[in-house]
Amino acid sequence: MSEPKAIKTTYREAVREALREAIIKDDRVFLMGEDVGHYGGCYAVSKGLLAEFGPERIRDTPLSELGYTGVGIGAALGGMRPIVEIMTVNFSLLALDQILNNAGTLLHMSGGQFNVPVVIRLATGAGKQLAAQHAHSLEGWYAHIPGIRIVTPATMEDARGMLWTALQDPDPVLIFENNTLYNMEGTLAENAGPVDIDKAMVRRPGKDLTIITYSASLFKALEAADTLAQQGIDAEVIDLRTLRPLDDATYLASIAKTHRALIVDEGWRSGSISAEISARIMEQGFYHLDLPVMRLCSAEVPMPYAKHMEEAAIPQVESIIAAAKRMVTHG
């Protein structure tokens, strides 16, 4: 049996193709959000979809995250499968009442009678000089909320495949797409389709150190691991993929082998997803550790605009390499 043909594409195009597939396959699916139609999306993800599918399926909304997120939740309750796009994760705070108090709680508050099958896509992360109101990584905040699922596609396959799987979930799913990944080029199988969203993945096997990360930081971790390998340090890289619910088993199995854990998280350190993972490692895998868990997170400041300051504020390849070397040397 021949291998499926690999096609050259970008992360942006992979997400767009996932949207196209969902709209074609299911009459209940539609995309709604600010500038998703005539403008083609703030990051050009939905470019061309309005002309292809019309305003019934690609709906421009007013600049009111609270309002149109509520409309999406209502549509989901009415039997539709809306995909709500929020331009940047910082703006999602304007819709937090809808996400937390309605989408996340209605199944519980209705005694299990009303599921809310809404998918919300959000651009997240720093690296594009978008400054403090447009560039934070708040997915760890949302992972704190019961009743919703948090997924963070990093690879081309996950960008293409997570959306359809999310649409099959009877409960709310938030998809965080790091804005620095949209221009990423790569290859994708021509028949690429839905992927599992329950499991973390070992993206690089190793025996000396476990690096746990997600989203755009995955590629920094992989680059760091390649450099470390040249220096005799064999790092295993775990892509969490889903932040709620966390797949504890995958990273705990890795730590049982390497005995060292480094968590790379673009969110702030205090109260972060890295803090949660560190606590779970201490609770479930303490006796596998040769030294304490180490975390690399963003500086606890509003994200700077100046490029050199923005780069200094978030984890980088060099800081991952330095942290890993300290851990292995001192271990």
What is the pLDDT, as a whole number, of residue 2? 66
Judge whether 242 and 191 are in contact, CB under 8 Å: no
Helix, strand, or coil (residue 122): strand
> What tens digit of pLDDT does each residue of 206-245 get?
999 999 999 999 999 999 999 999 999 999 999 999 999 9
Mean pLDDT, residues 96-122 taken together: 97
What is the pLDDT, as a whole number, of residue 329? 87
Does one domain contain both 167 and 270?
Answer: no
Could you say which of 129, 161, 189 is where a domain stops? 189
Does one domain contain both 80 and 205?
Answer: no
Does one domain contain both 148 and 258?
Answer: no
Could you say which of 167, 189, 211 is where a domain stops? 189
C-alpha closest to that of 214 among 248, 182, 172, 243: 243
Mark whether 236 is an active-site residue.
no
Does one domain contain both 232 and 322?
Answer: yes
Before 245, cis peptide (omega within 30)? yes
What is the pLDDT, as a whole number, of residue 130? 85
What is the pLDDT, as a whole number, of residue 129? 84
Judge whether 119 and 69 are in contact, CB under 8 Å: no
Does one domain contain both 252 and 183?
Answer: no
> Per-residue confidence at 37, pLDDT binned at 50, 70, 90?
very high
Any domain includes 248: yes
Higher-pLDDT residue of 200 and 3 is: 200
- The CATH number that applies at residue 41 is 3.40.50.970
The label of the residue with tokens 């150190």 reads 209
Any domain includes 195: no
Q: Structural domain of residue 322, as residue ranges?
A: 201-330
What letter would DSSP give residue 94?
G
- The burial of 300, by beta-carbon neighbours within 10 Å (0-12 exposed, 13-18 middle, 19 or more buried), is given as exposed
> Per-residue confidence at 313, pLDDT binned at 50, 70, 90?
very high
Does the pLDDT of residue 1 top 80, yes or no? Answer: no
Any domain includes 246: yes
What is the pLDDT, as a whole number, of residue 324? 97
> What tens digit of pLDDT does each residue of 135-182 get?
899 999 999 999 999 999 999 999 999 999 999 999 999 999 999 999
Could you say which of 157, 189, 221 is where a domain stops? 189
What is the pLDDT, as a whole number, of residue 109? 96
> Per-residue confidence at 5, pLDDT binned at 50, 70, 90?
confident
- Give the mean pLDDT of the chain: 96
Q: Beta strand 242-244 with 149-151: parallel, antiparallel or unpaired?
A: antiparallel
What letter would DSSP give residue 3?
P
Higher-pLDDT residue of 226 and 133 is: 226
Q: Considering the candidates 21, 65, 139, 266, report the single residue annotated as catalytic.
A: 65
Any domain includes 164: yes
Mark whether 13 is an active-site residue.
no
What is the pLDDT, as a whole number, of residue 190? 87
Phi-psi region for residue 112, left (φ > 0), alpha (ψ -120 to 50) or beta?
A: left
Q: Considering the candidates 13, 85, 134, 266, report the single residue annotated as catalytic.
A: 134
What is the pLDDT, as a whole number, of residue 60? 97
Does one domain contain both 289 and 209?
Answer: yes
Q: Beta strand 201-204 with 235-239: parallel, antiparallel or unpaired?
A: antiparallel
Does one domain contain both 105 and 172?
Answer: yes
What is the pLDDT, as a whole number, of residue 120? 98
Does the pLDDT of residue 10 top 90, yes or no? Answer: yes
Any domain includes 1: no
Domain count, the chain: 2
- The CATH number that applies at residue 263 is 3.40.50.920
Does the pLDDT of residue 318 top 60, yes or no? Answer: yes
Does one domain contain both 156 and 232?
Answer: no
- The burial of 164, by beta-carbon neighbours within 10 Å (0-12 exposed, 13-18 middle, 19 or more buried), is given as buried
Does one domain contain both 128 and 167?
Answer: yes
What is the pLDDT, as a whole number, of residue 118? 98
Any domain includes 228: yes
